Chain A
């Protein structure tokens, strides 16, 4: 059974149920339509995975949610408020936080400085140091707080960025390929981390390629293909879906 695709009828009274909704979200780069008329809704507190072949428009979609890119058309509603025209920092202040696909920490600063920058916006005085200590423990970087981030492993940098994205205490956390370049153990630990964040009430949307990882963290999966929502359903439904298999194989 696939999820109700007739979104229009429900959209109007749904604001209380859904933390995030997009309507007709579209991004064109010249002649290329990267994201094409996407209607998308995430209920509060869910972990949702977004998958799709390369070039499906996942990262572009994310960048529009975070405000890095302005959509060509369409609307983004967050907690009932239209945030389409808001600046990135205004969205962040409302509780939307993102980890981008490319690791974007501050490579020339120490781990402690990296964490302090997001933390100090929401904490004061000694609370800053406490929060930094908590985050260090959360992503197992305690003992490395004075190391320059450039000297961390790729996986550690990914974790650090997740910690920084969660440091602003978001309600909606967007993670673009959080396990890229991680070992199997690191990937598993990342899954545990994401689940624990969701247990604290965060809504998490994850762009991911690794289907095992998807199974570990999420129940519901959305498949993006050629900029459109191709399918939506539980992990096993999506795995068994022949059309989905076809678009992934067609890629190879």
Chain B
């Protein structure tokens, strides 16, 4: 009962807020957390702090944080396809890996010629998206659903891992790029953006700002889409495919589109990963890595993109700290956190906190 009242009150609050800041109207709705002026203030303050962070620390920490951010692209892609559209893909790492390798191959070959990596970055989004479209077409137009989608996507990423692991030896090269087998591909260029005199090679700091900027832009873009008509169709597809198609929506097409875009988003993450570390290897497409984004967003809250971000940054951060302390602790920690989250907070940490916050806020000073 108190829940309902809270929701109604909240909506009125939104309506008031809307007159103040019309700008964010299209970024707000029931499918994304946070709509108050307070939320947006907090959001921009956090963003500003993240931009200021490199000033307070050393280059190594900046690099580690950049990699943390890179993983969020993978999580967001899973949140969009699984959390919002209800399709459990166990193989988003396939697109992440293909994105990384695509960036590596094209970057290594074209950098000496064009002096930039623009094309490599774009291809690293397009190629995984095309692969996703292909797999998605056969799955969704073949009426494959539920656990079979999980099996097919997992098989895809495992097969790719296997294929790339078998590419040791000189003969496995695409142009100048050695695929390198299980040890991976080295010598992947850092990002060189722009062209001609405006060309700019991103050092560690530049990469940090670029990835952070992309992350903020991606977050806002996703909020826009998720609160648009299209976002409603995604959520409707998640809630009931049968009901949704009876309203005239072609849910096969919707699932294909979302899966394709999610593939591209994961590919972007892979490209950023490969260029940040100048390296990529097959294990990023292996079983252990395939499970990671599932755990991150399950703990964070898969039906909210903030949950995906918080879960990824939080777990990855503590994982890194523990890995530094002793190699096995990290995995055990992750397992325990997943168990606790699934048993005690099935919706994830962020949605649970949000409900708690709303109730508290309502009980405290409800006049607002």
Given known A-B contacts A104-B240, A110-B7, A146-B7, A92 and B232 have beta carbons under 8 A apart: no
Stretch at the interface among B43-51, B70-78, B146-154, B245-253: B245-253
A164: chain B residues within 8 A (beta carbon) = 247
Q: Which residues of A contact B4 (CB under 8 A)?
A: 146-148, 151
A146–B8 CB distance below 8 A:
yes
Q: Using CB atoms, name the residue of chain A closest to B249.
A: A89
Give chain A residues whose Cβ lies under 8 Å from the Cβ of B248. Answer: 89, 92-93, 121, 168
Known: A109-B235, A113-B30. A168 touches B247 (CB 8 A): yes
Kindly list chain A residues whose C-beta atoms are within 8 Å of the C-beta of B244: 117
**CA–CA, A116 and B249, complex, Å:** 13
User: Which chain B residues lie closer than 8 Å to A146 at the CB level?
Assistant: 4, 7-8, 11
Q: Is B243 an interface residue (CB 8 A)?
A: yes
Q: Are B229 and A97 in contact (CB under 8 A)?
A: no
Q: Nearest-CB distance from B8 to chain A (Å)?
A: 5
- A175 beta carbon closer than 8 Å to chain B: no
Chain B count of residues within 8 A CB distance of the other chain? 22
Select from chain B the residue with minimum beta-carbon distance to A106.
B239
| B262 part of interface (Cβ distance < 8 Å) | no
Chain A 106-149 interface mask (CB, 8 Å, partner B; 1/0): 11111001001110110000000000000000000000001110
A108 touches B239 (CB 8 A): yes
Verify if B368 is at the interface (C-beta below 8 Å from A).
no
B247 near A92 with CB under 8 A, answer: yes
Bound CA–CA A116/B247 (angstroms): 11
Are A88 and B30 in contact, CB atoms less than 8 angstroms apart? no
- Docked Cα-Cα span, A106 to B232, in Å, equals 12
A105 neighbours in B (Cβ, 8 Å) = 243
Bound state CA distance, A87 and B246, in angstroms? 9
A66 at the interface (CB under 8 A from B): yes
Q: Complex formed: what's the CA distance from A89 to B236 in Å? A: 14
- Given A87-B245, A108-B239, A146-B11, A117–B232 Cβ distance below 8 Å? yes
Interface centre among B4, B235, B243, B250, by most chain A C-beta atoms within 10 angstroms, is: B243
The verdict on A118 contacting B247 (CB below 8 Å), with A106-B240, A146-B4 known, is yes
Q: How far is the CB of B96 from the nearest CB of chain A, in Å? A: 30
Option from A92, A106, A109, A147 in Cβ contact (under 8 Å) with B245: A92
Report the separation of the CA atoms of residues A135 and B29 in the bound assembly, to the nearest whole angstrom: 21
Of A87, A97, A109, most B-chain CB atoms within 10 Å: A109
| Contacting residues, chain A, for B229 (C-beta < 8 A) | 120
29 cross-chain CB contacts under 8 A: A66-B246, A87-B245, A88-B246, A89-B245, A89-B247, A89-B248, A89-B250, A89-B251, A92-B245, A92-B246, A92-B247, A104-B242, A105-B243, A106-B236, A109-B30, A117-B232, A117-B233, A117-B244, A117-B247, A120-B229, A121-B247, A121-B249, A146-B8, A147-B4, A148-B4, A164-B247, A165-B246, A168-B247, A168-B248
Known: A88-B246, A93-B248, A104-B240. 13 other contacts (CB 8 A): A68-B246, A89-B245, A89-B250, A92-B245, A104-B242, A109-B30, A110-B7, A116-B232, A117-B233, A118-B247, A147-B7, A148-B4, A151-B4
Which residues of A does B touch, CB under 8 Å?
66, 68, 87-89, 92-93, 97-98, 104-110, 113, 116-118, 120-121, 146-148, 151, 164-165, 167-168
B residues touching A (Cβ–Cβ < 8 Å)?
A: 4, 7-8, 11, 30, 229, 232-233, 235-236, 239-240, 242-251
